[in-house]
Amino acid sequence: MNTIRLTPPTGKINAEIAIPGSKSYTNRALIMASLSTGESVLSGISKSADTMILINVLCKLGVGISINRNEIKIKGNGGRFLPFDGTLNVGAAGTAMRFLTALCCLVPGCIILDGSSRMRQRPIADLVMTLRTLGAKITYLINEGFPPIKIKGGQIDGRHVKINSSLSSQFITALLLIGPVLPKGLQIQISGKPVSQSYIDMTIDGLMQFGITVTNHNYQQYTITQKQTYQKTRYHIEGDVTGANYFWALAAVNGGTVKVKNINPQTSQGDIKFLAILKKMGCIVTLDRQNQWIEVTGNENLQALQSDMTGLPDSAQTLAIVAAFAKGKTIITGLSTLRIKETDRIVAVQNELKKMGIKTESGDDWLLIHGGKPHGAIIDAYGDHRMAMSFAIAGAKIPGIEIKEPEVVNKSFPDFWEKIQETGIKIKENCD
């Protein structure tokens, strides 16, 4: 198995990093542009593996897409697809699975939507049940409630639906993305405790960029009125805040300074709240709205805290690593969705922190970390890009951190290791 070893810099980090475009915004924009009338241009795109999978599938469905360096041109079809019969495999791309489950209901023909072995364990029943309410014909091929699924697509109708939002905000986003092309519009009633509301904000923000108005009734109901049309647009994808958090966390544990460029300080991305957490732990945060950068200077005496990560679950592992270096007990709550990600992230974090000499406790949706003095260890990534990237943070402070499966970062941040080296952390490959 491929492994890399990280060696901390000899002194304090002082680095500037340009972050790539947001995968979440890019994937939403790809669907919106595909359903638009005319040709849209997306710039600053993510080049993650998940994004490339979604582009490949959209091309198979007949959407005209051309890529030129950091820009994509998409010829939208207004929601009118040519017939397609066949299997579409999205691998481990969770957003692609959820978004395409809804989108393929618009495509005439018979589509089998499948993914990796882990994807076959990730629930999709609430989204499927809601789409059936709209008239979609969807059946499970192996296990009830999980991919692979068979979709007999074409015209779907109906307007009022109800969905449980406690598992994934991506279910709501998938519905919102197809709402504008439904003949009667769409009204979504929410049940259960909403999670990751910031991702809904990102979806609504993107819809506005493409000319669609969504009424948000306090996250309990969303309404898209009929006779709205996606408009072609030139859309710049802002930088990925989730990815930026790894580098701000490097500064936090190292005690140095990292400036991240290509960041919108007024973003709708919920992970921007991670900066407030770092401030509470003792870090200094400086930002420039005009020039789009945010800088963090770390603190060698990081303080433990209690933090609810409901709105930024993808940064929970990042916080867990910072907390391992803090004084006291850090309690991280709002983690219910972490158990159904690429791996059970709560269990995975506990397992690997134990290797580093850090004691933890956990429940269904919380994690307690006893801060201390972590030591080097060989870290398993569990096929999870966020496990590899979050534990790399420790390499800014302590020697002996080795990461297995380093290539998993391609899922969301293909040049992560190159960016890490720009901070002065040295990487040696194939050390197993």
Q: How many CB atoms lie within 10 A of CB 18?
A: 13
Residue pair 95/118 in contact by the 8 Å Cβ criterion: no
What stretch of H or E contains 208? Answer: helix 197-209
Q: Which residues contact 271 (CB under 8 A, 6 or more apart)?
A: 198, 241, 242, 244, 245, 312, 314, 315
- Give the residue carrying structure tokens 């993808």: 314
Residue 224, CA distances (Å) to 45, 146, 231, 280 in order: 27, 28, 15, 39
CA separation for the pair 272, 247 (Å, rounded): 13
What stretch of H or E contains 57? Answer: helix 49-60
Residue pair 312/270 in contact by the 8 Å Cβ criterion: yes
Q: How many CB atoms lie within 10 A of CB 414?
A: 17
In the set 50, 271, 314, 380, the catalytic residue is 314
Tokens of 141: 């091929």
DSSP lists the bridge partners of residue 64 as 75
**Which 8-state DSSP code applies to residue 184?**
T
- Give the residue carrying structure tokens 């993305």: 177
Q: Residue 375: how many CA atoms within 13 Å on its side-chain side? A: 3
**Pseudo-torsion of CA 393, 397, 400, 406, nearest 10°?**
20
Helix (H, G, I), strand (E, B) or coil at 271: helix
Residue 251, CA distances (Å) to 85, 100, 224, 243, 258 in order: 50, 38, 43, 14, 6
- Give the residue carrying structure tokens 């023909």: 109
- Give the residue carrying structure tokens 């690429």: 342
Q: Residue 64: how many CA atoms within 13 Å on its side-chain side? A: 12
Residue pair 26/412 in contact by the 8 Å Cβ criterion: no
Rounded to 5°, the CA angle 74-54-117 comes to 175
Question: Is 114 annotated in the active site?
Answer: no
User: Strand order in 234-236's β-sheet?
Assistant: 64-68, 71-77, 37-43, 234-236
The residues carrying an active-site annotation are: 314
